[in-house]
Amino acid sequence: MSDDEGATGSGVDRLASVNLNLLVPLLAVLEERSVTRAAERVGLSQPAMSHALGRVRRLLGDDLLVRQGGAAALTPRGLELIAPLRSLLQQAADVIDSRGFDPATDRRVVTVAMTTSTAFVLGPRLGRLLAEQAPHATLRLRTITVPAEATFTEHGVDVVLISEAHTSPYPRERLYDDRIVVVASTDTPPAASALELVTSVPHVVVDGERRVFPYSVLDEHGIDYHVGRRISDFLLVPYLIAGAGGVGLLRYRVAAAMRTMLDVRIEEFPFPLPGLGIDMVWNPHLGDQHFISWLRQLLFDAARP
């Protein structure tokens, strides 16, 4: 060992001069982007949290949390720290508590990201199941369109639920299968087939940059249809159809859930379509396997028809 090595020691040895108690409030500040909310989360006073943040800023030589246009934002260094810090603290918690994850006593925030349509299908039952099994935990549902790396690193998401049509660089597992159906007003002729509804009744469509998937199939078959209304949210499709008439193409699970509240009819799509399942993509930085196994089963239970 050289003299330099003896003086500086290993990276682990140098931690002896660092107050590791700062790491828990640091993660809270990075995830909450607010000194006030972070203080409430870890049970510190706001002055104590501000003091802890100041010490970490001096230790790392970075502001970590800054003001930008009246809002709080993380510096690039702050963003980089979230995932490894979360993983490190979870591993430390596992070492200290050899019993592993216990949903009956755990107080963590369980964060699941999904589209508003998927939240409409799963949200109520997922909330009930979590309240029953983990009464001290908090369920946070984040609605997204297409997940990005920041979904995991910045927002503390444990698992993302995405359509199989969307790609992801991480492993995925099917949560449930779904399909596209034709949703129509009950004012339409009862004997009309799905194809007759599609071709004779004005459509309510989601207005986006790309044509919604099932319509490309109608175009390929040369089906003539008329768009009567354009909207920005899939959940409005059955609501507007029930109230003002029309026809729309929607995921079956969403339509079936809506039918418990609205007066609409559901018919099968008139042409073969590929699968349209919902997959689970786990945060690659999440290291608590006991928690992952529990939440995975909870999601399967919530998705059961």
Q: What is the CATH number of the domain that holds 213?
A: 3.40.190.10
β-strands 180-185, 247-251 pairing = antiparallel
pLDDT tens string 24-33: 888 888 888 8
Whether 20 is covered by a domain: the verdict is yes
Question: Cα torsion at 182, 186, 188, 193 (round to 10°)?
Answer: 40
The model's pTM is 0.67
How far apart are the C-alpha atoms of 95 and 87, rounded to whole Å?
12
Most confident of 118-132, 167-181, 231-245: 118-132
How many structural domains are present in the chain? 3
Q: Are residues 7 and 79 in the same domain?
A: yes
pLDDT number for residue 153? 60
- Residues 163 and 295 placed together within one structural domain of the fold: yes
Q: How far is CA 174 from CA 112, 156, 163, 164, in A?
A: 15, 22, 9, 8
User: Structural domain of residue 171, as residue ranges?
Assistant: 109-177+277-303
Q: How confident is the model at residue 9 (pLDDT cuts 50, 70, 90)?
A: low
Question: Is 119 inside a domain boundary?
Answer: yes
What CATH number does the domain containing 40 carry? 1.10.10.10
Let me know whether 189 and 219 are in one domain: yes
Which band of pLDDT confidence, cut at 50, 70 and 90, is reported for residue 174?
very high
Domain boundary (38, 66, 96) is at 96
Q: Which residue has the higher pLDDT, 202 or 273?
A: 202
Shared domain for 24 and 83, answered yes or no, is yes
| 50/197 same-domain check | no
DSSP tag of 70: T
3-class DSSP state of 80: helix
281, 173: one domain? yes
35-80 pLDDT tens trace: 898 888 888 898 988 998 999 899 889 999 998 877 888 888 988 8
Same domain? For 24 and 173 the reply is no
Query: Do 166 and 185 share a structural domain?
Result: no
Looking from the CA of 285 toward its CB, the CA atoms found within 13 Å total 20
Q: Are residues 284 and 147 in the same domain?
A: yes
Does residue 101 sit within a domain? no
Q: Are residues 284 and 170 in the same domain?
A: yes
173 and 281 housed in the same domain: yes
Indicate the Cα dihedral angle 145, 146, 149, 154, nearest 10°: 0
Both 134 and 281 in one domain: the answer is yes
Q: Is 138 inside any structural domain?
A: yes
Q: What are phi and psi of 247, to 5 degrees?
A: -140, 150
